Structure 1
Amino acid sequence: MGLTLVFAQEIENTSTSFWLWDFLGRLHPLIVHFPISLLIIAALLELISLRNFQSKYRAGISLLVLIGSLSAIISAAFGYQLAQEQGTSGSTLDLHQQLGIATAFLSALLLFALFRVSKNNQKTRILVFRSVLFLAAIGVSLTGHLGGSLTHGEDFLTETLPWNQEQSEIEKTPINLALYKSELNPEREMKLIGEVRMVLAHNCYKCHSGAKIEGELRLDEKAFAFEGGENGPVIIPGNPSESELIRRINLKKGHKDVMPSKGQPLSKQEKELLALWIEKGAPWPDNAPQQSIYRVAELAPRRPNLPNPKNGLSNPIDLWVNDYFEKNGLEWNEQIDDRTYLRRIYLDIIGLIPSPEDLNEFLEDPRENKRTIWLQELLDRDQDYATHWLTFWNDALRNDYTGTGYITNGRFNITDWLYKSLESNKPYDQFVKELLNPDEKSKGFIEGIRWRGTVNASQRTEMQAAQNVAQVILGLNLKCASCHDSFISDWKLEESYAFANIFADSTLEVSRCEQPTGKMAKTKILWEELGEIDSAASRSEKLKQLAETLVQPANGRMYRTIVNRIWKQMMGRGMVEPVDEMDNEPWSQDLLDWLATEFVASGYDLKNLIYLIGTSKIYQAESISYPSPDLILAEDYQFKGMVRKRLTAEQFSDAVSQMVFPLFTDQDLKYNPEELNRKQSSQVGFVRASLVANNSFLTALGRPNREIVSTSRDSQASLLQALELTNGTKLDSALIGGAKNWKSNYQNTESLTEALYMSALNRKPLEKELAVAKAALGESPEPDQIQDFIWAVILLPEFQLIY
């Protein structure tokens, strides 16, 4: 901890100093730990000795006080030298200085009291000594904490608290930088400006807006933003490297000039966005356009007529895809073989790898329509299906087994309701009704997370409910419009509050950028043409009205949203991307609209939707690999087939548990479907990863913390994942256990290699692969060699990807 004491008011600051003084100043971080630790320990020992001043600890206390007090005074001098060298300033340092001076004074007084009490331990002298010791211990603790704030940031400790983690995360919105790197047309330019202003609003307005101005800098209006602050302009259009704004947001946390000075720093994407905006000339219109420049998707359902059958195609999805291919001059990819298809549907439907026995049975199945039959059989494995799709819905509905809010009863688990809903294939309209108008089992989704009261206006539980429902059910981002009028859409602050009011027990007061306006919110659904909500009704009645209103077939947006989400899960990319922004243009409006209306017509049956996709020719075609995720999200994206997908954290974990050794035990289970007293359709023999609490292994492989809605996972491999798979103890333990089992079952390298390849990759090894294995392992491998061999196989792209 830092204990920097500044006496600059008394000593003239010079531009250069003798090297020895600078050297001594830099010893401050070392010296400062003596008074912090020694005086606190001395105070604790003194507490133990309250009843007996001449206890066995007396000599030790005296020595600790002597060394601690002297080092506190020395640290003050060294801290002054350090501050002079670095030129630090600020309110935190001022308070640090004042407490440091007081602590140094108390330390000197403590030395005097120690000297007096050692000569004569009268009650009065003992009382003075103890009082000064306790005050010095408190002083050095507080001063040390402030020193830590100077070196690591004001929220170095508090940022780890769960309510502060959520506060920073909930405001972060994914940014598609690739969209703005090419030449900007008017629409893209307005989107760029909107995203920039959103970043400024969520990170900078608290100190640099009309409500509060620090450093004479305002960033909420164009004229003020380009005028700059007390030190001149902070934005130099066309030149990010010379722009003070860019310099400051890229400083390390704790630096006196870093922006934002409080709270979380900007994300890498946000920093790149601001730099790109300035590089593009920092466009900012003088006045908002009179007409909207944002695309707004149709709300009502639309059922286009199916194209005429061609080329032997019968699945309606294929008819629309073929129509799209013909219009765009694209060719169909080759169909995948049976092995690849079986592995694909196993992973997509139940999240598991087919066993060698399953594969052999499928390959030998003589039925012409065996793919359709096997797909339906997997969908009929209700518990396996529910266990796998639990992951998807846990992410989307912000449901987890442990985490922020559960200890304080400010969050509610919906796992049992969710699992049973998936197992019974509950119709989606009823599924949504029970989320919006919940009972005790399903109320967790709209209840939000209750932090320490209301963290801020845009994160109160009613607003969380509005944001989550809009995002998950309707594919709409209301987070920006929960703080101010949106910069990325036409949604207004008052509309967000009117929607949030449905979830409130009493009328909400509208706050703009966390400042109360004195205006009370109305109560309205987001699209008034769907119906009205009685503002005078109780909360339970309003929720009932909302549930009935939103799920009606007239709300085409809701059903396009779920169809788009399921399509992405199966095909690797949504027809609309991002899936939470359903106003964006789909690559095929006709296919999206037809599927949404077919979903309603089929009774809101999610399994039927998955079946329709899984039996299509396009699902059974070869997958497409892209060198960069930017290409998948590009504005000019053309659909050519399924995007190659990486196994999720849960799929990878289950695959390892299935073929190597269980990664999790019964002790890790947080929800056990067997407790339902129903016969499982498949005894997998290990604990499925979707049923355990998050941990470092699953986090490294991409499982989110679920304190906020997560509707997409990053499919790219990361450095954290590489480190976990290379050095992590969880996988290493499984490999050790698995190697012993494989050694006991297979005595020679050839049989072991063939069995391992069949279990992991659903194929026999190539001659070259078998030769490499024999060369590396010898004729009879030992467990440590087998361990390395299994590790090498599960790191293969063929194991980690769904082809």
Structure 2
Amino acid sequence: MYKPNRKFDFYVFRILLIFFLIAFWRLNLFGQEAIEATSEELVEQPEPWWVWVFLGRLHPLMVHFPIGLLVIAGIMELAKLRTFDSKLRTGTNWLVYIGAAGSVLAVLLGLLLANSGSYAGETFEWHQWAGITTAILAVVTALLLYAINKFNKRSLIVGYRTFLMITVLGVFMAGHYGGSLTHGQDYLLSATPWAPKDEKLEGIEGGMSSADFDFASYTNETDSLSLEQQVNLNLAVRTILAHHCFQCHSSDKMEGELRLDDKELVFKGGESGKVIIPGDSKGSELVRRITLPAGHKEAMPGKGKPLGEKDIALVKLWIDKGAPWPDQAKGIFRVAPLAPRKPDLPAATNGLENPIDRLVNAYFVKNKIEWQEVVDDRTFLRRIYFDLIGLPPSEQELLKFEADASADKRAKIAQELLTKDHEYATHWTTFWNDLLRNDYTGTGYITQGRFNISPWLYQSLQNNKPYNEFAMELIDPSEESKGFIKGIAWRGAVNSSQTTAMQAAQNVSQALLGVNLKCASCHDSFVSDWKLDDAYAFANIFSEEALEINRCDIPTGKMADTRILWPELGEISKNGSVKEKSKELSTLLTKPENGRLYRTLVNRIWAQLMGRGIVAPVDEMDKKPWSQDLLDWLAVNFVEQGYDIRQLLYLITTSKTYQLPSHTIKDPSEINSESFVFKGTLKRKLTAEQFADAVSSVVDPVYTLEALKYNPFENSQAYASASPFVRAALVQNDPFLTALGRPSRENITTSREGQVTLLQAMELTNGTKLNETLVKGSKKWVAKYGNPEQLIQAIYSQSLGRKPSQKEFEIAKKLMGNKMEEESVQELLWAIVLLPEFQFIE
């Protein structure tokens, strides 16, 4: 049995306690001051004492020591999990004690390195706090072990082992972020099959590769460059820097105090001086570094693929031509045009009269795609019912539609469904609740830090309010619609990117304009040309007091301007109230000249009906559309038709394009890729609300009026009475709807998971809500039908809109037997609602 050495334990305890106190003293001493003045501000800071710098640079050396000890200690503890007092006990104790002390020392050296080094950004913050947390966990683990050995506290063994395992996980987490700082983003995960794409390099669609660059037009050494040549040369070079240099020399990480993502800082240089001498590529340090052999300690880039010959030649050419960086420099990311554009419609051919079909036909001809035959009546009717009112057609409606011989019956059913005000408004409430992050309960409602817009939203949809008015009332809200702009007032301290003013900027830009400002709310975006000051200037519109710009939650001392994202649309009063500024903004954003607003809306509607937007993802409207003409024409036509969303839905659903057979894409990641080729609608899974309502219409109501007692509508029964059952869109979230994909709506949701998840499978096979519904429903079916054969035929007709096949009928009959037992009916109903044919829109 292990015998504790009290003298040794006493000294270990004192050493750990001293290190622990020093760590917090160090945090207090330097606090935030060490990293407040960022390179963006160009504020000169006094050089730290060389001793601190030297000790800080011991951090990478020291950090590996406790990592190894703690991981080995965890392995040894697992190896002898059955008995605490094993032969490995003494060794494990030493590893834990020394590892804990070493982790605290590593944290202290890391904090010194942070104070004197060149690290900043989110990755650095995550690494720093993961390291500090791991050190604290290691100390707690060591103290628990000390208490077990010193005072024979055997009850603490489980806690000690739990903390040790959590500490080991913390080691991996801190190591991952540390590796990302020194070896590039996602250093650890990049070697796995599920490695995330580098978001900094995603979307560099507006850039220019060296392979596409026209070197021939720049060969004359005597001629000065035209403005266009300067712009193109600068764009090509910055594209190279973005692909090869930003991971080490950007706002996220500034190795050698050098940044290459900002004009002023590029020419300022780094800790060793200027790296670019305009007109002299041979004397420029940047050229020397990029031409060193791979593996050289000073070679750039130090990580990743080295620059190719054409890339190097391009950088040299740029510098020799004076390193032009004109004010008119293009962004390296694609930026969609703002102004509306209405292309000419192609001629109608082969009976294609609908404008959508004429534009899609031009796309098909260009891409050598053959038109397919449209879907049959049953498939079409089920598709359009779910898309327009969120419900399946009844058996009677299907039979009536199939019997109709008129040529325009599909157009007539579209028109008929769009006039069902209550059903339409209830169904599309789900779409807008997700997009406007409106819900009936949840975070913010308890503390009155969140406001419901449900009555306003329902009435707006029911009355088919023109979209320009709809958007204006969201941006410049009334008391009933203010919940969108107000967002969520989170309890406690929040970071600067989560203030209500910044939430308003993020919500308006993402939901209405297809711009994601969340990156730019913290630092200059890596995935677009939006800058930190753009996000703050936009957020200032929604703030009564001028906002101070915070970079990565650190105040910069700069006050934000007040302006719209696209100043060409107009100016906002600098000193007006939020009400005055919001009113001005609502007018500027909704005018017809803002093609961005209306392209975003028609793209969202198209994605809702077709499974994929013309631009994808729908929140990134600067991405390249698969048909620019179709997107532009739809947006302008939408404005010309009075901003009428129902008219837009009618135009799409009556097109041959909408009626094409659905198809699937095997690799979901390809859906949003640039290589996507449109061939027709994608097969779509029913939303949680659609599935619940479909079950209600076939089996038994999933929700009753009791479920509406917390509903925000003034008269819940009045809203529900228009339907034979309570629609799932109107009830508060519950485990059933959550499992099927309904989001919490604390953040904007613009697309739901289209793949079946394990949680959904578990809920549908063993969930309480569905089981209770099936039990109640089986009783009604048994009471209604006299024999099994009749019941089987009725269930198939009502649930799938068709008769069972011979094989299906035989299986169902075998399941039912000769008796009408409720359990057998319940099993049959369960088997039907789990069929892909029931759960998917073909």
The amino acid of 1:292's aligned partner reads G
Tell me the equivalent position of 2:24: none
- Residue number in structure 1 paired with 2:798: 759
Other structure's SS at 1:516 match: strand
Match of 2:491 in 1: 452
Q: In structure 1, how many angstroms separate the alpha carbons of the residues matched to 2:820 and 2:242?
A: 61
**Equivalent residue number for residue 634 of structure 1:** 673
**Whole-Å Cα distance in 2 between the matches of residues 423 and 445 of structure 1?**
19
Q: What is the distance in 1 between the residues matched to 2:550 and 2:257?
A: 14
CA distance in 2, matches of 1:536, 1:595: 38
User: In structure 2, which of residues 645, 655, 662 is the aligned counterpart of residue 623 of structure 1?
Assistant: 662
CA distance in 1, matches of 2:400, 2:166: 64
- CA deviation digits over 1:531-558, x for unaligned, max 9? 0001011111000100011000000110
Q: Check whether the contact 1:650–1:690 (CA below 8 A) recurs between aligned residues.
A: yes
Contact kept, 8 Å, 2:472 with 2:586, in 1: the verdict is: yes
Give the Å deviation of 1:678.
6.0
| Alignment partner of 2:334 out of 267, 273, 295 | 295
SS of 1:425's equivalent?
coil
- Tell me whether 1:532 sits opposite 2:571 in the alignment: yes
Aligned with 1:534: secondary structure?
Answer: coil
Q: 2:724 is aligned with what amino acid?
A: V
Residue 701, structure 1, aligned to residue 714, structure 2: no
Q: How does 1:432-443 map to 2 (within 5 A)?
A: 432-443=471-482
TM superposition shift of 1:351: 0.5
Partner of 2:715, secondary structure, is helix
Shift of 1:345: 1.0
Q: Report the secondary structure of 1:519's partner residue.
A: strand
Aligned residue for 1:396? 435
Structure 1 residue 795: Cα displacement = 1.5
Aligned residue-pair number: 652
* Structure 1, gaps ≥5 residues long: 33-70, 112-135, 157-173, 212-220, 225-276
| Counterpart residue number, 2:399 | 360
Q: 1:511 maps to which residue? A: 550
CA distance in 1, matches of 2:558, 2:333: 28
- Taking the aligned partners of 2:711 and 2:379, their CA distance within structure 1 comes to 32
Change (3 A) 1:78 1:566: same
The answer to whether structure 1 residue 330 and structure 2 residue 369 are counterparts is yes
Structure 2 matches for 1:237-256, cutoff 5 A? Answer: none
| 1:83 aligned to which of 71, 96, 102 | 96
Which secondary structure does the structure 1 equivalent of 2:549 belong to? Answer: strand
The CA RMSD measured in Å over matched residues stands at: 4.8
Rounded to whole Å, the distance in 1 between the matches of 2:640 and 2:66 is 81
Residue 795 of structure 1 corresponds to which residue in structure 2? 834
- In the TM superposition, 1:729-744 aligns within 5 A as 729-744=768-783
Specify the alignment match of 1:374 in structure 2: 413
Name the SS of the counterpart of 1:754 in structure 2: helix
Alignment-derived partner of residue 456 in structure 2:
417
Asked whether 1:710 is paired with 2:710, we answer: no
Residues 589 and 182 of structure 1, relative CA distance in 2, 3 Å threshold:
closer
Equivalent of 2:384 in 345, 364, 385: 345
1:511 alignment partner, SS class:
strand
Q: How many angstroms does 1:600 deviate by?
A: 0.6
1:307 aligned to 341, 346, 352, which one? Answer: 346
1:465 aligns with 2:478: no
- Return closer, same or farther for 1:182/1:304 CA change in 2, 3 Å cut-off: closer
Match of 2:602 among 556, 559, 563: 563
Partner of 1:167: none
Residue identity opposite 1:683 in structure 2: S
* CA separation of 1:743 and 1:530: change in aligned 2, threshold 3 A: same
Do the aligned partners of residues 702 and 7 (structure 1) sit closer, same or farther apart at CA in structure 2, a change above 3 Å counting? farther
Gaps of 5+ in 2: 16-64, 105-132, 174-194, 211-237, 259-267, 272-301
CA shift, 1:633, in A, is: 1.8
Q: Within 2, Cα distance between the matches of 1:676 and 1:601?
A: 37
Q: 2:583 aligns with which of 522, 541, 544?
A: 544
* d(CA) in 2 for partners of 1:187, 1:422: 45
CA positional deviation for 1:144: 11
Q: Structure 1: how far apart are the matches of 2:76 and 2:589? A: 69
Q: Residues 629 and 386 from structure 1, CA distance in 2 versus in 1: closer, same or farther, beyond 3 angstroms? A: same
In 2, the alpha carbon distance for the partners of 1:199 and 1:454 equals 31
TM-score, structure 2 normalization: 0.68
CA contact (8 A) 1:22 1:82 kept: no
**CA distance, structure 1, for counterparts of residue 269 and residue 691 of structure 2:** 49
Q: Does 1:675 align with 2:743?
A: no
Name the SS for the 2:671 alignment partner.
helix
Cα shift at 1:185: 12
Which amino acid in structure 2 is aligned with residue 351 of structure 1? G
Secondary structure of 1:482's counterpart equals coil
1:61: which partner in 2? Answer: none
Q: 1:14 to 1:379 in 2, by over 3 A?
A: closer
| Residue equivalent to 2:724 | 684
CA offset digits 1:300-338 (Å, max 9, x no partner) = 111112222211222111111112212221111111111
Cα distance in 1 for partners of 2:569, 2:386 equals 38
2-structure distance, mates of 1:658, 1:201? 59
Q: Cα gap change, 1:382/1:31 in structure 2, threshold over 3 Å: closer, same or farther? A: farther
Secondary structure of the 1:785 match is helix
Residue 671 of structure 1 aligns to which amino acid in structure 2?
N
With 564-573 and 623-632 compared, the bigger mean Cα shift is at 623-632
Q: Return the offset for 1:509.
A: 0.5
CA contact (8 A) 1:344 1:802 kept: yes
Q: Distance in 1 between matches of 2:702 and 2:671?
A: 33
The Cα of 1:778 is off from its aligned counterpart by: 2.0
Displacement of 1:445: 0.8
TM-score normalised to the size of structure 1?
0.71
Q: Check the 8 A contact 2:779/2:822 in 1, yes or no.
A: yes
What is the aligned-residue identity percentage? Answer: 47
> Are residues 15 and 672 of structure 1, via their aligned partners in 2, closer, same or farther at CA, if it must alter by over 3 Å?
closer
1:252 counterpart residue number: none
In 1, are the aligned partners of 2:788 and 2:819 still within 8 Å (CA)? yes
Partner SS for 1:704: coil
Distance 2:618 2:611 in 1: 12
Question: Conserved in 1, the CA contact under 8 Å of 2:145 and 2:160?
Answer: no
1:769–1:526 distance in 2 versus 1, CA, 3 Å: same
Q: Which has the higher contact order (CA 8 A, sep 6+)?
A: 1
How many angstroms does 1:141 deviate by? 14
SS in 1 for 2:557: strand
Pairing partner for 2:425 from 373, 386, 394: 386
Distance 1:786 1:178 in 2: 52
| 352-361 or 625-634, which deviates more | 625-634
- Equivalent pair of 1:178/1:634 in contact (CA under 8 Å): no
Deviations 1:483-535 (A, max 9, x none): 11111111111111111110111100111122211110000001111000010
AA paired with 2:444? G
Q: 1:15 to 1:153 in 2, by over 3 A?
A: closer
| Matches of 1:397 and 1:183, distance apart in 2 | 29
1:39 paired residue number: none
Using the alignment, how far apart are the partners of 2:168 and 2:67 within structure 1? 23
Equivalent residue for 1:474? 513
Amino acid at match of 2:687: T
Name the SS of the counterpart of 1:480 in structure 2. coil
Q: Quote the Cα distance in structure 2 between the aligned partners of 1:22 and 1:596.
A: 60
| Shift of residue 679, structure 1, vs aligned partner | 7.8
Contact 2:684 / 2:840 at 8 angstroms: preserved in 1? yes
Q: Give CA deviations for 1:670-704 in whole Å, capped at 9, x if unaligned.
A: 4376817868784222x211112222221221111
Q: What is the SS of the residue equivalent to 2:742?
A: coil
Shift of 1:626: 1.8
CA distance in 2, matches of 1:180, 1:329: 31
Which residue of the partner structure matches residue 49 of structure 1? none
Asked whether the 8 Å contact 1:383–1:680 carries over to 2, the reply is: no
Distance in 1 (CA, whole Å) between partners of 2:613 and 2:791 is 40
Cα pair 1:381 1:682 within 8 Å, conserved: no
Aligned equivalents of 1:282 and 1:653: distance in 2? 55
Tell me the CA shift for residue 444 of structure 1: 0.9
Q: Which moved more, 1:189-198 or 1:744-753?
A: 189-198
